[in-house]
Amino acid sequence: MKNKDDIFKKVISHAKEYGFIFQSSEIYDGLSAVYDYAQYGAELKNNIRSYWWKAMVQMNENIVGIDAAIFMHPTTWKASGHVDAFNDPLIDNKDSKKRYRADVLIEDYAEKLNQKAEKEIAKAAKRFGDSFDREQFVSTHPRVIKYLAEKEDVLKRMALALDNENLADVKALIEELGIACPVSGSKNWTDVKQFNLMFGTKLGASADSAMDLYLRPETAQGIFVNFSNVQKTGRMKIPFGIAQTGKAFRNEIVARQFIFRMREFEQMEMQFFVRPGEEIKWYDHWKEKRLNWHLSLGLGKEKYRFHDHEKLAHYANAAADIEFDFPFGFKELEGIHSRTDFDLKAHEEHSGKKLQYFDHEVNKSYVPYVVETSIGLDRMFLAVFSTALQDEKLEDGSERVVLKLPSVLAPVKASVLPLVKKDGLPEIAREILDSLKYDFNVNYDEKDAIGRRYRRQDAIGTPFCITVDHETKEDGTVTIRHRDSMEQKRVKISDLRSIIHEEVSVGNWLKNV
């Protein structure tokens, strides 16, 4: 049994070795927290995006999709609050000159306390076996109680200090807890300062007339500023949604954990505009709908949990994360936020334009309330990829590495393999490839023994391998091997399309949502 660190390392190395994800500009030693999606990664990412788009936009009559620009008028970010408040508290270690997020240093400390408690719990679980009652143990064991209480205290104190913008107290807490720099080991810290996460850039050629712009830190604002355009041209009636997918940029201070926290990433967001007073009903609706979308992929119910926010952003009246069990533990995958009328009102104030809706049913105009669903495409990629990657022991004692991706998302749906490189088999295989490529992403491989070719397809998650052999020439049949069961069946070439379609069609998968 591998530990979590090893599993995560394996995920990263597999993603590179099999052409899913490369470090950006690797030949120049890379750019930190920026990644390129390679030949199979780009396909997998596109498939996740399409699966989301189909479920959110095309399956809902009252949701439309847009594609707003990354550059937006700079006042957008003043109105949204990002210029003034999209900050992280940072602290430098004077000896190592390394920069950290002060809240992350404290959260890491709290996590260590949590791990100490978990260690005690695991030890007891082993000792007591089936009769172990976790809840009872956690509430009665003195050391576990102490660790967990200390963890809660630390997190509460930090939240209070951050809420009150009391950065001196954040530093005091780091000093009191004796947190040392992981690089230098020293406790020689600077004061804590706020650091804005937006990337600035300039529009225009001459230095005096150039306009300061930001790369968007979220896609949502492109939807808010287009609210009236879309509502009027689409004759949308409340409740309705506007969705989009696209790049977002954040100058993360602590960017780590591979594609979990990147500086350039992609979001898939939907803003649902509702009548004021009905937002909580819709918030509950979208929480359920979004979880069902995740569950439809079959990664396992136990991999997800909701984390309802107790502390809400100033514009929200309810918020929850869907957390996923990544190789480094449960972390935020998607956010569902009831954002009130904060954004539309702020844009009305800053633009001087009305962003209202006339509701014929109640015969009045109002600024709609908004329920948002916001998921990181890269995080979704990591969730799917890390869960799918499995080392499997086979009956004959050998091992295989298999990427058990939901077949609807698999980069390649079928690989066509002539058993040998002669006797006319490659020609038949290419004919099959040509007939399938209009409907599916398929590939062709004739190099190496058939077993090795199967393993190569297993490692990139291809659900089907189609083998052309001498019998094919006689009766027009091939063998089709399924990635997960490794079972092989003889089928007619003319049935291949429908067999593959049945297993990979988005429609079939989305029926479970």
Using CB under 6 A as the criterion, which residues of the chain lie in contact with ligand GAP when the complex forms? Answer: 218, 220, 250, 252, 261-262, 265, 267, 269, 332-335, 372, 374-376, 378-379
What is the rounded distance in angstroms from the CA atom of residue 78 to the CA atom of residue 347?
9
Structural tokens at position 120: 């005690």
3-state secondary structure at position 87:
strand
Q: Which is nearer to ligand GAP, 71 or 137 (CB)?
A: 71
Q: Which is nearer to ligand GAP, 86 or 509 (CB)?
A: 86
Min dist. Cβ of residue 337 to ligand GAP (A): 6
Measured from each CB, the residue nearest to ligand GAP is: 376
Min dist. Cβ of residue 370 to ligand GAP (A): 10
Q: Which is nearer to ligand GAP, 294 or 453 (CB)?
A: 294
Q: Which is nearer to ligand GAP, 23 or 467 (CB)?
A: 23
3-state secondary structure at position 177:
coil
Percentages (nearest 5) of helix, strand, coil residues in the chain: 40, 25, 30
Min dist. Cβ of residue 372 to ligand GAP (A): 6
Number of Cβ within 10 Å of residue 180's Cβ equals: 15
Q: Using an 8 Å Cβ cutoff, are 445 and 417 in contact?
A: yes
Q: Which is nearer to ligand GAP, 337 or 413 (CB)?
A: 337
State how far the alpha carbon of 175 is from the alpha carbons of 92, 155, 172, 506, in Å.
13, 15, 5, 53
Q: Which is nearer to ligand GAP, 333 or 428 (CB)?
A: 333
Residue 380 has φ and ψ, to the nearest 5°, of -65, -40
What is the rounded distance in angstroms from the CA atom of residue 410 to the CA atom of residue 44?
6
Min dist. Cβ of residue 389 to ligand GAP (A): 20
Q: Using an 8 Å Cβ cutoff, are 389 and 15 in contact?
A: no
Q: Side chain identity at 369, as an amino acid letter?
A: Y
3-state secondary structure at position 280:
helix
Min dist. Cβ of residue 246 to ligand GAP (A): 12
Q: Which is nearer to ligand GAP, 43 or 372 (CB)?
A: 372
Min dist. Cβ of residue 266 to ligand GAP (A): 8
Min dist. Cβ of residue 322 to ligand GAP (A): 8
Min dist. Cβ of residue 376 to ligand GAP (A): 3
Question: Can you spell out the DSSP letters for 57-72?
Answer: IIT-TTEEE----SB-
Q: Which is nearer to ligand GAP, 271 or 467 (CB)?
A: 271
What is the rounded distance in angstroms from the CA atom of residue 424 to the CA atom of residue 31?
48
Q: Side chain identity at 28, as an amino acid letter?
A: Y
Taking the CA of residue 351 as centre, how many other CA atoms within 13 Å lie in the half-sphere pointing to its CB? 18
